[in-house]
Amino acid sequence: MDKFFEDWRRPILGSLAIICFFLAWEAILTWGIPLNKFIISKPSLIFAGLFQDMNSGLLWRDLLISGRPLVFGYVAAVLVGIPLGVVMGWRVRVGYSLDPLLTAFYASPLVAVAPLVIIYFGVGVAGKATLIFILCVFPFIFNSFAGVRSVDLLLINAVRSFGGREWDLYRIVIVPTILPFVVAGARFAIGRGLIAVLVGEFFAASEGVGYRIAFYSDMYVLDRMFGYILVIMVIAVAFTEGIRWAERTAFPWRVGM
């Protein structure tokens, strides 16, 4: 029993903390402070509202609407970011030329381009996907850039001395080296992508998760709004912890990058 508790201590205590948090929230607003529905909601109402939105299909439709531009923008970021980062790392002069400009963009709050993107591309899928692309591409560029620069030159020379061609260098040395960097970049990028989805939909949209949160808050339907916030939290944790788990399993020697 003690051994079992010692092994599972972290998940047990963590889940207990979360359960206690929700119970305390419910209890305080039921017996402690009288509930003012225009300021706060309580878990029983939130979950009831969430089930209603699930049964009516509203939640699933909103998730699909928001998911489509996320997929487009994210895939485009992978397709552009990784090759660009690899070229920047492999061709030294390209790296010298692009690094300062792109670093300036990466360090600045790129969400600020949202009004411009909406002026140029509209409020539909195209506008959202562009904004997502702009935010997601930088982690991919800089992580594959750093990955290529950490390639072991000894390995390159070894492949060359055994008669390897340029293609073999990429297949045998470069891709395996940058893969952990790229996966870590994918984890940063998904967080930025979710920010972009919300910004795009807060600004102007008629459907989607972000729109629904803004709509419920305008209508002061706080229990439904909390439901959507919880859904987004669960999705965000699932994405980032899922990628972190993949990193730990696939590249155990690189944990904590």
When computed from its CA atoms, the radius of gyration of the chain, rounded to whole angstroms, is: 23
Task: Name the residue among 34, 52, 20, 25 with its Cα closest to residue 228.
Answer: 52
Q: Which residues, 6+ apart, have CB-to-CB distance to 38 below 8 Å?
A: 220, 222
| The two structure tokens encoding residue 60 | 């699933």
Nearer to another protein, 146 or 171 (CB): 146
Nearer to another protein, 21 or 51 (CB): 21
Per-residue CA distances from 66 to 3, 35, 135, 255 (Å)? 45, 32, 16, 31
Residue 132 within binding range of another protein, rule CB under 8 A: no
Nearer to another protein, 83 or 115 (CB): 115
Lay out the site mask for another protein across 101-120 (x = CB under 8 A, - = otherwise): x--xx-xxx-xxxxxx-xxx
What residues from 165 to 184 belong to the interface with another protein (CB under 8 A)? none
| Minimum distance, C-beta of residue 257 to another protein, in the bound complex (Å) | 8
Catalogue the long-range contacts made by 174-179 (C-beta closer than 8 Å, 24 or more residues apart).
174/86, 174/90, 174/148, 177/147, 177/148, 177/150, 177/151, 177/152, 178/82, 178/85, 178/86, 178/143, 178/144, 178/147, 178/148, 178/151, 179/147, 179/250, 179/251
| Minimum distance, C-beta of residue 115 to another protein, in the bound complex (Å) | 3
Residue 21 within binding range of another protein, rule CB under 8 A: yes
Nearer to another protein, 97 or 171 (CB): 97
Cα separation, 135 vs 111, in Å, equals 7
Nearer to another protein, 57 or 100 (CB): 100
| Minimum distance, C-beta of residue 38 to another protein, in the bound complex (Å) | 8
Size of the site for another protein (CB under 8 A): 56
Residue 121 within binding range of another protein, rule CB under 8 A: no
For the beta carbon of residue 20, count every other beta carbon within 10 angstroms.
10
What residues from 195 to 224 belong to the interface with another protein (CB under 8 A)? 195, 198-199, 202-203, 213-214, 216-218, 220, 222
Lay out the site mask for another protein across 225-254 (x = CB under 8 A, - = otherwise): xx-xx--xx--xx-xxx-------------
Q: Which residues bind another protein (CB under 8 A)?
A: 9-10, 13-15, 17-18, 21, 38-39, 93, 96-101, 104-105, 107-109, 111-116, 118-120, 191, 194-195, 198-199, 202-203, 213-214, 216-218, 220, 222, 225-226, 228-229, 232-233, 236-237, 239-241
